Structure 1
Amino acid sequence: MIKSKHLKTLLATLTLSLTLSTTVLAGNYTVASGDSLYKVGKLFNTSADTLIKNNGINGSTIYPGQVLKVPCDTYTVKTGDSLYLISKKYGVNLYDLRKANNKWDNTIYPGQSLNIPGKNSNAGNSTPSNQSTQKPVINYSESDLDLLARLVTAEAQNQPYNAQVAVASVVVNRVKSSAFPNNISSVIHQVINGYYQFTPVLNGWINKPATETAKKAAKEALYGADPSRGALFYFDDSATNKWLWSKPITARIGNMVYVK
């Protein structure tokens, strides 16, 4: 029979061992050119010494292509997600999210696992801690989202992804502006002095189904992404309308020009 004093010591030792064993190296990070242990550690809120120990590194040299085990939360991508929305869910910088996953385009797919930078977890929990506080910048319904995504599809389906987000953000900016109607449907269907504000409403292309990419782009804009930089108008760079070209240009993406 173990004496009480020895039993307490044994239990304390077991508890410490279990506590130490719960540190999960949930993520794999592929070293990029220009990385150092210090930079990687800073990205994942850990130290260079910890990375050296956990990866069995001799010295402090790492090389591009090397895969490091890093302590971080991971997130499994779901349908409708985008890098911007995931960064908002976790309250992390979009650039840091891209860096943590060496992800410099916008293509992600359901089931894909992403590292979350600067979010260490003992359990690798993938539930966003501040998801309940995530709010769109304007109110919208599912029908609003579908309408906005159909406009994006009609106007910019063949343009870069950021151009599609920017088209949606122009509508959002108009809803926020006192110079235009205060809801998505009214903005898109607005006619001023006999002129339709958005050509797809006039030619019927607005009725074509939205692409999945356009849906993601529309949702990013609804949650604050604005590659247009506050624009209230957009047009193709082949346009000859002098009035549009006379306005201050805020962004040019693909063949699209965005102005205030």
Structure 2
Amino acid sequence: MINSKNLKVLLFTAAITLFSAHSAKAADYTVSSGDSLYTVGKLFNTNTYTLKGDNRLSSDIIYPGQVLNVRAKDYTVKSGDTLYLIAKNNGISLNFLRKANNYWTDYIYPGQKLIIPGTSYSVNSTSQTHYGVIPYTDSDLDLLARLVHAEAQGEPYKAKAAVAAVVVNRVQSSAWPNTIRDVIYQRINGYYQFSPVLNGMINQAATSEDRQAALDALNGYDPTNGAQFYFDDSTKNTWLWSKPVALRVDNMVFSY
């Protein structure tokens, strides 16, 4: 659980870090009949919230022919490429590749530009960055899933997703560090904010359910609606109990 010994210090902590996401490479996607922001989000491994923000949309309504900016990786066709091989090498289906590019013939040519759906622009050559409600790498996802495992193993899925959402909410807040790793490993006056970092349980492997809970939180699922704290209901810490409760799942309490 979050270490409660030093939480009151947060009320007086002046270190404010503004959230700053990596800028994603924008690609153009032309809306087709039957599309919605939800389906386009699924295609490009993002969500409605991000699509609306990137395109300055005030509603969820989109229409055929509308061009949307999407966070995706561009690919330049090389000699010997086929659509099938490009899809296979990028771990996506051929249909997804066709849909993202509205390209339904098999002929491609060297130098042709294609959008690769379900992936994100790589910030550097060694760590691909994905874009949900916050940017994250595969390493970030693994770390978040391990925290979920350490804090909520044996708990319902909703509690697991809520643990991950608390970390995501902290990353989004200017009152906390602006990366998943820095939030999880944060110390204030020498005290770790998350006890699994101190007791070593953060190093235990996560299950597939832990990973899915982390991934869902990264893509916008938050059963707490913005909580930044959680604790066991056996705690006697009056400061924690003074905070508005957002969600209770079994013995776990999530608060603002």
What TM-score, normalized by structure 2, do the two folds share? 0.51
RMSD between superposed Cα atoms in Å: 2.9
Q: What do residues 54-80 of structure 1 show as CA deviations (whole Å, max 9, x unaligned)?
A: xxxxxxxxxxxxxxxxxxxxxxxxxxx
State the distance in 2 between where 1:228 and 1:126 align.
36
Equivalence for 2:111:
none
Equivalence for 1:239:
235
Equivalence for 1:202:
198
* Cα drift, residue 92 of structure 1: 10
Indicate if the aligned counterparts of 1:137 and 1:223 stay in contact, CA closer than 8 A: yes
Higher relative contact order (CA 8 A, sep 6+): 2
Distance 1:87 1:190, change over 3 A: same
State the distance in 1 between where 2:40 and 2:147 align.
25
State the distance in 1 between where 2:162 and 2:254 align.
8
Q: What do residues 173-214 of structure 1 show as CA deviations (whole Å, max 9, x unaligned)?
A: 000000000000000000112221000001110011111110
Equivalence for 2:172:
176
Indicate if the aligned counterparts of 1:167 and 1:228 stay in contact, CA closer than 8 A: no
Segments of 5+ residues of structure 1 without an aligned counterpart are 1-84, 94-124
State the distance in 1 between where 2:39 and 2:240 align.
35
Instruction: Show the 5 A alignment for 1:1-260.
Output: 89=42, 127=96, 132=118, 135-260=131-256
Query: Which protein has the larger Cα radius of gyration, Structure 1 or Structure 2?
Result: 1
What TM-score, normalized by structure 1, do the two folds share? 0.51
Indicate if the aligned counterparts of 2:164 and 2:213 stay in contact, CA closer than 8 A: yes
Indicate if the aligned counterparts of 2:243 and 2:255 stay in contact, CA closer than 8 A: yes
* Cα drift, residue 229 of structure 1: 1.2
Indicate if the aligned counterparts of 1:175 and 1:187 stay in contact, CA closer than 8 A: yes
Q: What do residues 14-57 of structure 1 show as CA deviations (whole Å, max 9, x unaligned)?
A: xxxxxxxxxxxxxxxxxxxxxxxxxxxxxxxxxxxxxxxxxxxx
Distance 1:159 1:175, change over 3 A: same
State the distance in 1 between where 2:199 and 2:236 align.
20
- Write 1 or 2 for the structure with the bigger share of helix: 1
Segments of 5+ residues of structure 2 without an aligned counterpart are 1-37, 49-93, 101-116, 121-130
State the distance in 2 between where 1:126 and 1:166 align.
34
Indicate if the aligned counterparts of 1:232 and 1:258 stay in contact, CA closer than 8 A: yes
Q: What do residues 119-152 of structure 1 show as CA deviations (whole Å, max 9, x unaligned)?
A: xxxxxx9749575599411111111111100000
Moved over 6 A (4+): 90-93
Q: How many residues are matched? A: 146
Indicate if the aligned counterparts of 2:47 and 2:219 stay in contact, CA closer than 8 A: no
